Amino acid sequence: MHRDDASRPTPVAGPDGTLGGPPREPAWDAAFFDLDNTMVRGASLFYFARGLAARGFFSRRELQRFGRRALHFALRGENLGHLVEVRELALAFVAGHTTAEIRQIGEEVYDEHVEAKVRAGTRALARRHLDAGAPVWLVTAAPVELADVIARRLGLTGALGTVAESVDGTYTGRLTGEPLHGQAKADAVRALAGDRGFDLSRCAAYSDSANDLPLLGLVGSPSAVNPDRALRRHALAHGWPVHEFRSWQHVARWSVRAGGVAAGAVVVAGLLRRR
Active-site residue numbers? 34, 36
Give the containing element (helix H, strand E) for 5: none
Torsion (CA) 76, 80, 81, 84 in degrees, nearest 10: 120
Q: Which residues lie below 8 Å from residue 122, measured CB to CB, with a gap of 6+?
A: 33, 38, 39, 206, 225, 243, 245
Q: Say how far apart CA 125 and CA 112 lie, in whole Å.
A: 24
Q: Give one DSSP letter per residue of 69-104, joined into a string.
A: HHHHHHHH---HHHHHHHHHHHHHHHTTSBHHHHHH
C-alpha torsion sign, points 178, 183, 185, 189: negative
Q: Say how far apart CA 234 and CA 211 lie, in whole Å.
A: 12
C-alpha torsion sign, points 114, 141, 150, 169: negative
